[in-house]
Amino acid sequence: MATVLSPTAEAFWTDADRHLVRYIGANAFTPEIINRAEGSYLFTEDGRRILDFTSGQMSAILGHGHPEIVDTVARQVATLDHLFSGMLSRPVVDLARRLAGTLPEPLEKVLLLTTGAESNEAAIRMAKLVTGKHEVVSFARSWHGMTQAAANATYSAGRRGYGPAAPGNFAIPAPNTYRPDFTTADGELDWRRQLDFGFEMVDAQSVGSLAACLVEPILSSGGILEPPPGYLAALRDKCRERGMLLILDEAQTGLCRTGTWYAFERDGVVPDILTVSKTLGAGLPLAALVTSAEIEESAHRRDFLFFTTHASDPLPAAVGNTVLDVLQRDRMDVSTAQLGGVLRAGLERLADRHETVGDIRGRGLLAGLELVLDRDTKRSSDQLGALVTRRCLELGLHVNIVQLPGMGGVFRIAPPLTATEEDLQLGLDILDEAIGDATRRI
């Protein structure tokens, strides 16, 4: 049945169509007018409640309208909101110290910014300056942002039509254990051979100026691809052999999302530069670059410059401090690991019920569910993913699907860390019904 729009809603969409730049490629805006949010739920202008399984833009880890975040914003905006970027305030220094305290040595120097793209831009700029080189390696399914250097290191989307990328950007194969390109005798991903091949290709193309390798510990926009245990350590060794810095982008995986404070903890690998964003501000624009005193000193001696309008702003820094307060007080690394187990068990039950569920992957409350038409051939279907997405929204669940060439539709599931088991079960029930409905239509 077609939706009948009220006159005000019709005017809204007319204005949106006439005046908004369409910035999400071929994808249309979600056909709902959202007028408020609370906890794990969004509420539309016409009174519908929608369970948010993406935490906004994978950011609102404490849910929407968390009372402590609300109090902090109200207090801080009335006291000290914005400063000249060369001025300092207590919230900024406190957050830098406390953020460093959540990380292993030698990560202790912090630059506070606004978005993930901006923090990756700063990290690449710092790596180039410190090493005196310019080449950057990333995964072929990567997403690091839409500013210049970050976009040059992004391969999952957005490269066509914008002219030449900066010289010296190279892609290596992303380790996809479900769809392996290099295989062992038993058909499993031979990630060591894949990694060796990737760097053989890099070495063949490099002009001898390899500066950095920028990767996500779990690729999110690339389809929730988790490198096997041992991969990050081997990647670090490849960097060391070539005098490169290892930059880890934990925009979506940092701050308890995966059941540990940082995803790289599983592998015992400490990056040379870490970037965090989305989760640090819990939905507000806050990002950080974190590195060692040695690298920061080297950059400073070379006159490192990354001067932005909102660098070291006190308002988002105060929010970041409150985020750390809640995460530490409520031991959200532990609770997220437990909730992640509940989510994983529920997704596995869906796989038992639906032949179109090809793979389940991820960690903690960052999960991926890949849909296929045939489990044996792993044949994908854009239509199936689109149908499930649409049906979920009709039933009151917002989910995000990644559809890339050579992959089936992969649902990125990232509810707030404050979600309850009841919230998770509701989302699983809706997903169950939506997959069943969509499968019958294919």
User: CA-based angle 334:337:341, to the nearest 5?
Assistant: 145
* Segment 223-245, tens digit of pLDDT: 999 999 999 999 999 999 999 99
- pLDDT of 1 strictly over 70: no
Which ranges in 354-398 belong to alpha helices (H)? Answer: 382-395
Q: How confident is the model at residue 406 (pLDDT cuts 50, 70, 90)?
A: low
* Segment 243-298, tens digit of pLDDT: 999 999 999 999 999 999 999 999 999 999 999 999 999 999 999 999 999 999 99
Q: Is 349 a catalytic residue?
A: no
Q: Which DSSP helix (H) or strand (E) runs through 342? A: helix 332-353
Q: Is 128 a catalytic residue?
A: no
Q: Over range 416-424, report the average pLDDT.
A: 98
Q: Is 252 a catalytic residue?
A: yes
Mapping DSSP to helix (H, G, I), strand (E, B) and coil, where does residue 186 land?
coil
CA dihedral 331, 337, 342, 343 (to 10 degrees): 110
Mapping DSSP to helix (H, G, I), strand (E, B) and coil, where does residue 87 land?
coil
* Segment 303-340, tens digit of pLDDT: 999 999 999 999 999 999 999 999 999 999 999 999 99
Angle between helices 332-353 and 421-441 (to 10 degrees): 30
Q: Could you give the domains of the chain? A: 7-65+331-441 (3.90.1150.10), 69-329 (3.40.640.10)
Q: Is 278 a catalytic residue?
A: yes
List the catalytic residue out of 143, 242, 250, 267: 143
User: Using CB atoms within 10 A of its CB, is residue 241 exposed (0-12), middle (13-18) or buried (19+)?
Assistant: exposed
List the catalytic residue out of 252, 359, 361, 423: 252
- pLDDT of 193 strictly over 70: yes
* Residue 311 tokens, joined: 């660098």
Q: Is 249 a catalytic residue?
A: yes
The HSE-up count of residue 395 (CA atoms within 13 Å, CB side) is: 21
- pLDDT of 2 strictly over 70: no
Give which of 426, 148, 404, 34 is closest to 413, Cα–Cα.
426
Which ranges in 66-216 belong to alpha helices (H)? Answer: 67-77, 90-101, 116-131, 148-152, 191-205
Q: How confident is the model at residue 408 (pLDDT cuts 50, 70, 90)?
A: low
Q: Under a CB-based contact definition with an 8 Å cutoff, are residues 110 and 290 in contact?
A: yes
Could you give phi then psi for residue 142, rounded to 5 degrees? -75, 155
* Residue 367 tokens, joined: 């999960």
List the catalytic residue out of 133, 257, 278, 391: 278
Q: Is 109 a catalytic residue?
A: no
Q: Which DSSP helix (H) or strand (E) runs through 240? A: helix 231-242
Rounded Cα distance, 238 and 154, in Å: 20
List the catalytic residue out of 121, 226, 249, 267: 249
Q: How confident is the model at residue 4 (pLDDT cuts 50, 70, 90)?
A: low
Rounded Cα distance, 15 and 30, in Å: 15
* Segment 15-66, tens digit of pLDDT: 999 999 999 887 789 999 999 999 999 999 999 999 999 999 999 999 999 9
